Amino acid sequence: MTRKAAPPQAEDNSRRAELVRTAARLFRDQGYERTTVRDLGNAVGLQSGSLFYHFRNKEEILVAVMALGITSTTEQLAAALEVAKTPYDKVSALIHVHLNSLLGENQAALEVMLYEWRSVSAEQKPGLIVLRDRYEALWQSALDEAAAAGVVGQDTRLLRRMVLGSLHWSVQWFRRDGGDSVDALAERMLKLVIGPRPQAD
C-alpha cells in the first residue's frame, strides 16, 4: 500500500535511514541549498524523482537530518551522564560526547543541525527547537551541578553558550589528519574550561 512520507522521527525504515545519512554528509559538505535532489539521487543510486516517494519535499529531508543529529547526540549524552560519577566527570562527558558527535567519523547530522538552521521554515522550527532544548537542558543541569560543587563559576547559562559555541566552531578548523584525536582535543578543551582534574585529597 502506498503511504505518504512518515514524520521525521520514524527511522525504522532502513531505506529512509540510509537516505538521511547520505543527505547529512552531502548537506554538511556542500551546504543544503547547493545540494540538489539530483546529487542525493546519484549518491544513493536513485533517480531524483524517486526521492519524493520517501519525502514530501526537500525540506523534509533537511528536517530529518537535523532531528537525527540532535536526538542521537542527546541519547549518547544521556547515557554518558548516567555513568559519570562526579560533577567533573559530567562536564567531561558534555565535551567528549558533543565533540565526537560533531567531529567523529560518519558524523555529519549534528553539524547540519547547527549550520543550516536558516533554511528551516517557520513551520518546521518549533519541532526541532523542542529537541534542541531537551539537549541543552542536559547541559544546563550538569553545569549547574558543577557550579554548586565549585568546579565552574556561577554564570552557567552564559558558560553553556560559550562552551557550546567553542565546540561548534571546531568543525571549521579541526582536521582529523592534523595530530590530535577527537578525544585528545576534548581533553585539552576541558582543561581550558575547567582546569586540571582534581586529585583525591
Residues that bind a copy of itself (CB under 8 A): 30-31, 33-34, 115, 117-119, 153, 155, 158-159, 161-170, 172-173, 188-189, 191-192
* In the complex, least distance from residue 57 CB atom to DNA, rounded to whole angstroms: 3
- Beta carbons of 62 and 112 less than 8 angstroms apart: yes
> Which segment (42-50, 145-153, 167-175, 184-192) binds DNA by CB under 7 A?
42-50
HSE on the CB side for 92, CA within 13 Å?
Answer: 17
- Of 9, 30, 42, 47, the residue at the interface with DNA (CB under 7 A) is 47
| Local structure of 200: helix, strand or coil | coil
Cα angle value 114/116/122 (rounded, 5°): 105
- Taking the CA atoms of residue 5, residue 102, residue 167 and residue 75 in that order, the dihedral angle to the nearest 10 degrees is 70
- Partner whose footprint covers residue 9, from DNA, a copy of itself, none (CB < 5 to 8 Å by kind): none
Do 18 and 28 touch, CB atoms closer than 8 A? Answer: no
When CB distances are held under 5 to 8 angstroms depending on the partner's kind, the choice from DNA, a copy of itself, none that residue 31 binds is a copy of itself
Nearer to DNA, 62 or 91 (CB): 62
Q: Which is nearer to DNA, 53 or 115 (CB)?
A: 53
| DSSP codes joined into one string, 91-103 | HHHHHHHHHHHHH
How far is 40 from 58, CA to CA, in rounded Å?
Answer: 10
Segment contacting DNA by CB under 7 A, of 52-60, 142-150, 159-167, 185-193: 52-60
Residue 157 binding result from DNA, a copy of itself, none, given CB thresholds of 5 to 8 Å by partner type: none
89-104 in b/e burial notation, b at 16+ Cβ within 10 A? ebbbbbbbbbbbbbbe
Q: Report the nearest approach of a copy of itself to the CB of residue 119 (Å).
A: 7
In the complex, which residues of this chain contact DNA (CB under 7 A)?
A: 2, 13, 15, 35-38, 41, 45-50, 52-54, 56-59
